[in-house]
């Protein structure tokens, strides 16, 4: 059985994806979500980070 590693969006520690790519589970904080939702969360987090960078650029 192979486990795919993911980054927990809740505690940023290591989370695991099951082999069917349906469920993401973090053993550290107990965060569980569907893989589809996980991708959406990570996508919105990336957008947030890009926005923060943009703000930093505007300041300087």
Residues making contact with Zn ion (CB under 5 A): 8, 10-11, 26, 28-29, 31
Of 37 and 51, CB closest to Zn ion? 37
- SS3 labels along the chain: CCCEEEECCCCCCEEEECCCCCEEECCCCCCEEEHHHHHHHHHHHHHHHHHHHHHHHHHC
Of 11 and 46, CB closest to Zn ion? 11
Of 8 and 38, CB closest to Zn ion? 8
CB of 18 to Zn ion, least distance (A): 16
């Amino acid at each position: 059985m192979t486990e795919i590693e993911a980054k927990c969006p809740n505690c940023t520690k290591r989370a695991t994806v099951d082999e069917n790519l349906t469920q993401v589970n973090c053993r550290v904080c107990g965060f569980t979500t569907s893989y589809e939702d996980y991708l959406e969360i990570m996508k919105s987090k990336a957008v947030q980070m890009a926005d923060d960078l943009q703000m930093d650029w505007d300041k300087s």
